[in-house]
Each structure stands twice: as structure tokens, then as C-alpha cells.
Amino acid sequence: MTLLQRLIEQAKKPSGIVGSLMLRIMNKAHSGMNTWLMRHEVIKDGDTVLDIGCGGGSTLRFLSQMNPSGKIYGIDFSEQSVHESIKTNETDVANGKVIVTQASVSDIPHDDKFFDTITAFQTHYFWPDLANDVIEVFRVLKYGGKFIIISEVYKINYHMKAYKTKPEIKQLFESVGFQTVTIRENTQKGWLCITGIK
Ligand SMILES: C[S@@+](CC[C@H](N)C(=O)[O-])C[C@H]1O[C@@H](n2cnc3c(N)ncnc32)[C@H](O)[C@@H]1O
């Protein structure tokens, strides 16, 4: 396996010391996406929020700060990511405001219509079956709830075979049942934000 392939594997499912280091780097490198989210998508105080592929946990911390009386859940299928997310959110985890669980997006361990808002940053291009995984996200989202994906465009182009283009992803969201689908691009940073309202 080449060095690039190893790094991609670590980004897809971080593990061990290298994974831990990468998660800390990603916590810093992806922080601008949180600010961008804040500018465009309002998360209401008191919302029940899920961050999928929570990685090093910086988005969970940001969501918790934005939402002082809400509850923030994180899932990630990597044991290392769950460990780092818990460490990053130590106080909120201890007081029960932030809850992090090891789980895959393909089988979210929550009841139907549980969440007001669901976020997924720099992760959807790794999911095993995007069409079915979006159906699973839709299942746990309340009516009127929002699903927000943010990813770098070049990573979407590199990793994905299907649902790469804006019309394709919009069509997927609409076919699953999202009522309103908005796609925004930050051309300066090369970021894409896809929002679906159920
Ligand atoms: C590139 S990291 C991004 C982490 C974090 N969201 C961020 O923006 O810094 C991708 C994360 O998605 C997680 N992930 C990938 N596939 C997943 C899946 N099928 N279910 C749950 N988590 C997944 C990985 O374990 C990893 O922690």
C-alpha cells in the first residue's frame, strides 16, 4: 500500500497513533466549515442534533456551544474517532450533554424521527452506500428537520463514483423525500454544502 493509500485509509477509518494525530489535525483544518455552517444554517437552541462521522469531535464541541440547552449526539464507526471525540468534549460528555457512540451511518442506533438537525462533515464520500445511507438519515430525522452535508469538492470528485454532481445529489435527496434541497458552494475554499429539509 502506498503512503497516499494509507493516509486515505486513515481518513476513512482512523486508528492507532497515526489516526489520533490525523483526527487532531482535522479538528483544526476543518474548523472553518463550522463557521461557514453558522453563517448559513441556523441551529436552534434546544435542538436535538446528530453529527455523523464525528471524527476528532470539534464539530460536536461547536454544536454544543451553539446550542446551550440542546443535546448533541455523535456517531462514528471508528473506535479511535469515538475516543478522540469523547476527549475533545470531556466536560459535556461527563454532564450528559454530548453523547458519542460507535456506530455506522448505515445503521443509526436511534428511533425514527428523533433528531431536529443532522450534520455530516467531510465524511459522506466514504459511506458504503450513499443512497441507502441517506434513507437511514431520513428515517431518524423529524419532519421539518435538516440534514446538512459539508465536504470539499475535490474529495467528492476523488472518492465518489456516483452522486458527484450537484444535480445528482439534489435528485438523490428529493427521491428519498426531502421537501427542500439547497446546494451552496464556497468557491474560494472549494467547499460544498448540501441541505435537505424533511
Ligand atoms: C475525514 S474524517 C472527518 C471527521 C470530522 N467530521 C471532521 O470534519 O473533522 C471522516 C470520519 O468519518 C468516519 N466515517 C467514515 N465512514 C463512516 C461510516 N460508514 N459510518 C460512520 N462514520 C464513518 C471516519 O471514521 C472518520 O472519523
> What DSSP string describes 53-82?
T-TTSHHHHHHHHH-TTSEEEEEES-HHHH
Q: Is the residue at 56 inside a domain?
A: yes
pLDDT at 84: 98
Q: Is the residue at 81 inside a domain?
A: yes
Task: Supply the range of the domain harboring residue 34.
Answer: 30-40+47-182
**CB distance 83 to ligand 1 below 6 Å:** no
Confidence of residue 1 (pLDDT cuts 50, 70, 90): confident
23-40: average pLDDT: 88
CA torsion sign, 164 to 165 to 168 to 170? positive
Which element (helix H / strand E) includes 93? helix 90-94
pLDDT tens readout for residues 43-97: 889 999 999 999 999 999 999 999 999 999 999 999 999 999 999 999 999 999 9
Confidence of residue 153 (pLDDT cuts 50, 70, 90): very high
**CB distance 19 to ligand 1 below 6 Å:** no
**Rounded distance between C-alpha atoms, residue 94 and residue 123, angstroms:** 26
Confidence of residue 40 (pLDDT cuts 50, 70, 90): confident
- Residue 7 alpha carbon to ligand 1 centre in Å: 13
**CB distance 34 to ligand 1 below 6 Å:** no
**Rounded distance between C-alpha atoms, residue 193 and residue 169, angstroms:** 11
When divided into structural domains, the chain yields a total of 1
pLDDT tens readout for residues 169-185: 999 999 999 999 999 99
**3 state DSSP class of 183:** strand
CATH of the domain at 152: 3.40.50.150
**Rounded distance between C-alpha atoms, residue 28 and residue 102, angstroms:** 22
**CB distance 123 to ligand 1 below 6 Å:** yes
**Rounded distance between C-alpha atoms, residue 43 and residue 20, angstroms:** 29
pTM of this prediction? 0.97
- Residue 76 alpha carbon to ligand 1 centre in Å: 6
pLDDT at 80: 98
Rounded percentage of the chain residues whose pLDDT exceeds 70 = 100
DSSP codes joined into one string, 115-172: EEEEEEES-GGG-S-HHHHHHHHHHHEEEEEEEEEEEEHHHHHHH-SSS-SHHHHHHH
- Residue 101 alpha carbon to ligand 1 centre in Å: 13
Q: Which residues contact 135 (CB under 8 A, 6 or more apart)?
A: 176
Q: Is the residue at 7 inside a domain?
A: no
Q: Is the residue at 12 inside a domain?
A: no
102-124: average pLDDT: 98
**CB distance 61 to ligand 1 below 6 Å:** no
